[in-house]
A and B are shown apart, each in its own frame.
Chain A
Amino acid sequence: MFSKLSSKVNFIAVTLLFLILVVLRETGIFNNYVMGILMLACISIIMTASLNVATGYLGQLVIGHAGFMAIGAYTAALITKAFANADILNGSGIENFFRFIIAIIAGGILAAIFGVLVGAPTLRLKGDYLAIATLGFGEIIRVIIQNLKICGGKGLAQGSAGQALIGINRLADFYVVYWITVLSLAFLFCFARSRYGRVLKAIREDEIAATAVGIKTTRYKILAFSMSAFFAGLAGGIFAHYLGTLAPGTFDFNKSIEYVIMGVFGGMSSFSGSVIAGTVLTVLPEALRSFADYRMLAYSVALILVMIYRPQGLFGSYEFSLTEQLDKYFDFTNKVQARKEKKAAEKKAGKAAAGEGGEK
């Protein structure tokens, strides 16, 4: 499964981080408040990383990402509600886990379908049309949700138009969400490094040249865009099951801009940047709470400073690599390689010795 050394190293690092978080939570050092913020950070990370595929790799400005998030959130919330009403997978532990997973994936799929619907006509055009189309799309989705009776009040049976959808089971468990985030990032990272990712970069750099070498640009653009929408829908589903309440006003233009800011802050085509920006920009306003009235000011100043001194974002297109760092300080890869060779040599020697023994 992990053929490359770096995958092994990363998997171990991610598991270690998870174990540390488990210990911190179970001992009560990280209370519900901190865990809640970490959950929001995970949601921001998925949103920012998914936006990076469309904005960073494909080079298309998307300013309606909250619209896809809203689709995912409402779909997932209504599905878990319907399941609860029909008493399917409505219990504790593993049943809730499956209900949650089914709901958020369904939310993601619907968001991806809308991604194709929005992307298919607009991605054929060159220029900034997608930005405008997604901007409009985000607003349209919000207004439609506002007027759907099924999305208001207590949902399903007894809705009242325009109200917040309440009483969604809060199924989002941090441990599950942590691994969903890890898997999403791994998937997006591999996608970006694959043949598809290279095609996207080619389209971003020069669309005419890409067409000239026989790339079907529209198809790839729609693929990347709908994938980006899928993960936004997934994040929306998690968001719904964390908050337990959805109001259409949450998914407004500002919410979309928030994620664009995170993407730019971290570096447009760096997933490491998405992780750092998603975490920092979610935690920062909370950490600054003690400054009360000045906290939003401090947040803005931090953003402006980054843009002045690192206009390409914190990471630019650089990806942080744990293996590289280990190599730098411990000469890790070579050591592992040497150890492997040594072991192999020992084995050989052992076999040889055994062979000699057999002869006697």
Chain B
Amino acid sequence: MKKLLALLLAVMMILSFASCGDKKDEEKTQVDLGVIAPLTGSVAQYGTGVYNGVSLAVEEINAAGGILGKQIVIQKFDSKGSETEGVNAINALITNEVDAVIGAVISSVTAAIAPLADEAGMVVVTPTSTADTVTEGYDYVFRTCFADSFQGKLAARYADKLGKTKAAVLYISSDPYSAGLYEAFKAECAALNIELVSVQSTASKDDTDFTTQLTTIQATGVEFLYAPCYYSAIGSYIIPQARNAGYNGIVMGADGYDGVIPYMADPKSMYENVYFTNHYSKDDVNPVVQNFVKSYTDKFGADTLNSFAALGYDAVYMVKQAMEEANTTQDKEAIKAAMADINFSGVTGSFTLDETGTPQKTAALLGFKDGAEIFVESVGLE
């Protein structure tokens, strides 16, 4: 009995010691910025692009005196594109009391970390998660990119603008990105009285043979094909096979086409009449864009320069602007309020955020000529 009492007392003592360790609310002398991105694994190239963009922006801001006079220190976490690792990372960042988080990159990981961040009152800006639902209902979660449904709508509007009344679709049924874009496109087509004469799908994003689907589409005599797929499939397989099947109409896609140029087959003239919506255009004459393109290319080379890098870069500047407008780097409530009311202008356009924290912005419509990207026009919903 005595032993038990002694044990109990010892436990109580430990407890009371531990409760003495409360930290004082000291003003930090730096801004801790957490970054969650897949730096290894199957989507590593997206994460690398984002991380490069983030580190470029941080370097620039620090060289110019930091945010409110405080230097930014990055805490980098590799999510490997897995939800579990993403949750571990956000838990660690909340524990480390960082001031804001940039991430995650792919939508499924962002969907996993959003409720945790929101509960802990941590400001999270995802640069690139385009799935419609990831920011819905979470006050502390914002994004820099537009949502998938927006791009699907834009494509339907563009078809309408070109005077097409019939369209065909080729999409990847198992892929959330592709399926989401198709659904948004379908809904907008119904609103605009565009008839979908042929809807073809493929089971996996790794498929390489689309001849059957494309021949069926060609047989309907349609002149507008919406194919929300990824750059490798578009460049190497879909366009050459479509042109082989005798389809010479328009092929339209979304930001998944970004990076297609190295995958193009000869002759490059096949890729004329191929259009896609993207977050920004390298050829935009806006000095902000040109400045970004130049500093990025100088630092990391042109190979990894894609919209992921641009969005990562903008996300950091969004955090900076929100902190400056709130006049604090630590009061998350104030930063969140400033972020919700932000009127931001950066590489990927000028925008305000809607009630879900999604930018209201325009997209760049890009095409190809002689194997190079050309800027067609800026498109928006208005």
Contacts and interface: CB of A to CB of B under 8 A. Distances in A.
A32 B92 CA distance: 8
Interface stretch (B107-115, B333-341, B353-361): B107-115
Given A23-B15, A27-B14, A154-B133, A161 B179 contact: yes
Interface stretch (B29-37, B53-61, B168-176, B293-301): B168-176
A162 B172 CA distance: 10
A162 B228 CA distance: 14
Contacts, number: 93
A243 B15 contact: no
B176 A163 contact: yes
A296 interface: yes
Given A32-B94, A250-B83, A23 B14 contact: yes
Contact of A170 (B111, B115, B174): B115
A353 B268 CA distance: 110
B78 A292 contact: yes
A29 interface: yes
Interface in B302-330: none
Interface string A13-44: 00000000001001111011100110010000
Contacts of B203: 143
Contact of B133 (A166, A242, A247): A166
B87 interface: yes
Contacts of A23: 11, 14-15
A147 interface: yes
A162 B179 contact: yes
Interface residues of B, number: 38
Interface string B76-89: 11100011100110
B51 to A, nearest CB: 12
B76 A249 contact: no
A164 B18 contact: no
B108 A27 contact: no
A244 interface: yes
Q: Which of A143, A170, A244, A250 has the most chain B CB within a 10 Å cutoff?
A: A244
Interface in B1-51: 11, 14-15, 18-19, 21, 39-40
B131 interface: yes
A161 B18 CA distance: 49
B173 A243 contact: no
A163 B179 CA distance: 9
B283 interface: no
Contacts of A247: 83, 108, 111
A90 interface: no
A217 interface: no
A307 to B, nearest CB: 23
Contacts of A246: 83
B112 A36 contact: no
Interface residues of A, number: 38
A170 B91 CA distance: 14
Interface in A288-336: 289, 292-293, 296
A161 B180 CA distance: 8
Interface string B174-186: 1110111001000
Nearest to B85: A285
Contact of A146 (B95, B115, B174): B174
A36 B40 CA distance: 22
A167 B133 CA distance: 10
A160 B131 CA distance: 11
Interface in A220-271: 242-247, 249-250
Interface string B112-155: 10011000000000000001011000000000000000000000
B15 A296 contact: no
A162 B108 contact: no
A128 interface: no
A249 B179 CA distance: 15
A147 B175 CA distance: 9
Contact of B115 (A28, A154, A164, A244): A244
A152 B180 CA distance: 11
A151 B40 CA distance: 28
Contacts of A292: 76, 78
B251 to A, nearest CB: 22
A289 B40 CA distance: 13
Given A23-B11, A27-B18, A152 B91 contact: no
Contacts of A33: 88, 91-92, 94-95
A244 B112 contact: yes
7 contacts: A37-B88, A147-B173, A154-B133, A162-B179, A163-B176, A247-B108, A293-B39
Given A147-B174, A167-B115, A243-B84, 15 more contacts: A27-B19, A32-B95, A33-B95, A36-B87, A143-B174, A143-B203, A160-B179, A161-B179, A162-B173, A162-B178, A163-B180, A164-B108, A170-B115, A243-B112, A247-B108
